[in-house]
Amino acid sequence: MSDPAAALDELLARQPPADFTAELDDAHVAEFRDRGFTSIPRLTSDAELAWLGELYDWLFAERVQPVRGGYFDLSRAYESEGPDLQPQILSPESRFPTLRRTAVFRNGRRLAARLLGAEEPGLRGWGHMIRKPAGIGAPLPWHQDEAYWDPVFEYEALGVWMTLDPATRESGCMSFIPGSHRGEVRKHRHVGDDPAVHALITDDVEAALAVPVPVQAGGAIFHHCRVLHSSGANTSPRARRAWANEFQRPPRTRSERIERPWIDEGKRAWEARRPRET
């Protein structure tokens, strides 16, 4: 089928049923509380994983922006020339709400509620997709996810990171610093000290303590919004496609002001972009 819109309609029409139930046991919950992360070998069915892979490939082939400016490379300056080294699509579910009806999203939200000790209907969630192309996929350096977020608020949040391909050391699996979620948000800066590069890095990390967490296709890692993590380059011959959904209680406004200058610098660079209109 040569018409991309028709191909998309045909693909959406054959979404498989979200009939896969993933569970966490008490050891997973204890690991999450103690180390700041835990993983399970499967979050969804083979059928949904295959279907998601097709939709994922369509989104990246078309460089879809579900929200304006919502397709960009994490590893090089906005609008710079060159091949995508680590493209990201923000909020795919805002363009395709059916993504919220997948087993990936439903299992992720239910299990996130358990790990956060929260009622599931009260949780907010949004997604992002990060693709590391075969052979050239860039690493994502050490960071805490909360370092990207508005410090006006306090967060109780975690990410459910699901991989559509085997995430190995060769393909760029994630690594974590166990227990680092108990501390504050550390000082970050933009990669290359360029605020037009979206990715953040912290130099305040005990990298010798890193624990790599390989996951098979369809597996997932649950990680606290403050746990230090990174992912490697993809030197393997196939893409490493990840879809992460973040879940949080409604954030509360902080009583005191916290300075995160890298966020202000990044916001100015973000607002200076000229994203494609579609």
Residues that bind Ni ion (CB under 5 A): 145
User: Considering beta carbons, is residue 133 or 159 the nearer one to Ni ion?
Assistant: 159
The answer to whether 78 and 198 are in contact (CB under 8 A) is yes
Q: Which is nearer to Ni ion, 49 or 157 (CB)?
A: 157
Nearer to Ni ion, 76 or 224 (CB): 224
Q: Which is nearer to Ni ion, 145 or 165 (CB)?
A: 145
Q: How far is the CB of 230 from Ni ion (least distance, A)?
A: 8
Whole-number minimum distance, CB 54 to Ni ion, in Å?
25
Largest separation between any pair of C-alpha atoms in the chain: 56
CB of 64 to Ni ion, least distance (A): 21
Min dist CB 235 to Ni ion, Å, is 20
Which residue's CB comes closest to Ni ion? 145
**DSSP-derived secondary structure for the chain:** ---HHHHHHHHHHTPPP--------HHHHHHHHHHSEEEES-SS-HHHHHHHHHHHHHHHHTT--SSTT-EEESSS-TT-SS--SSEEEE-HHHH-GGGGGSHHHHHHHHHHHHHHT--GGG-EEEEEEEEE-TTTBPPEEEE-GGGGS-TTEE--EEEEEEESS-B-TTTT-EEE-TTGGGSPPPP-EEGGG-TTS--EE-S---GGG-EEE-B-TT-EEEEETTS-EEE--B-SSS-EEEEEEEEEPPPEEPSS----HHHHHHHHHHHT------
Q: Which is nearer to Ni ion, 73 or 145 (CB)?
A: 145
Nearer to Ni ion, 84 or 145 (CB): 145
Task: For the CB of residue 228, give the shortest distance to Ni ion in the complex, in Å.
Answer: 9
Rounded to the nearest whole angstrom, what is the least distance from the CB of residue 82 to Ni ion in the complex?
A: 23
